[in-house]
Amino acid sequence: MKTHIPLLLTLGSAAAMAAEQLPETVISASRTEELLKDSPYSVAVIGSDELLENAIRTLPEALRDTPGVMIQKTTHGHGSPFVRGFTGRQNLLLVDGVRINNSTFRSGPVQYWNTVDSYAIDRLELVKGQGSVLFGSDAIGGTLNTLTRSSDFRSHDAGWFNENAAFYRFDTNSRSHVGRLETAFGQGGKWGILFGVTNKNFGDIRDSAVGRMKNTGYDELDLDFRLDVAVSDSTTMTLAH
């Protein structure tokens, strides 16, 4: 009887772990929620924890370790991803499913991807390859859907809730400072608001041969706001900026 006890404990522990680990889902590949492993497309998913750990400066830098993607950088404050050989207007950028591409996008590298604050993003879903059937023109090389941070009001119990968060990072090499403050509040299950502000101060680039290169640093201030209201149990109306 004693010989069976360790085996039973092991099985119980494995069952508990299996219950806690949920399969990863993706919505950008088919516009409906599905398991990542069941998607017929090549999809790369990057979460908020990975974005913070990699200490990225801009949104395109978040894709620098993704297979099939190369980042063209003119300066540290700019970047344009090449997805399967395509860049500029041939890649589609979405923010919460809303297309950002417009007639000002060129066929070559563009700087507009850098206007999205990487610290206001909760999750990135990159669908590689043509997606014009789902998303219309421009989705030739790939489609990147940036899902922004929200109050996550549906996960809270009924009643008032309020959460606050702060983040700060200092880089000695570039003498850069990045800080973010955000607050979320609302009524659990009914509505929620998230407001965030990110301040970035990047110092001059330092080269081993010529030393510090003047006037290569820059400052950046980002503000984001998101209001989510439950219309029904399965429908949410969102207003974001």
CB 143 within 8 A of CB 220: no
Q: How far is CA 229 from CA 139, 153, 154, in A?
A: 30, 9, 10
Q: Which residues contact 1 (CB under 8 A, 6 or more apart)?
A: none
Question: Where are the chain's structural domains?
Answer: 24-148, 153-240
The first and second tokens of residue 216, run together, are 């290569």
CATH class of the domain comprising 24-148: mainly beta
Q: Please say whether the beta carbons of 228 and 238 come within 8 A.
A: yes
Q: Give the span between the Cα atoms of 93 and 127, in whole angstroms.
A: 11
What is the full per-residue pLDDT of the chain (241 aa) written as tens digits?
444 333 333 344 444 444 455 556 655 555 666 676 667 678 889 988 888 888 788 899 999 889 989 998 877 778 889 998 888 888 999 999 888 887 777 777 888 888 899 999 999 999 888 877 777 777 888 899 999 999 999 999 999 999 999 999 888 877 889 999 999 999 999 999 999 999 999 888 777 788 888 888 889 999 999 999 999 998 999 999 8
Please report, for residues 32, 88, 126, the alpha-carbon distance to residue 28 in angstroms, rounded to integers and kept in the order given.
Answer: 7, 20, 8
CA 3 to chain centre: 49
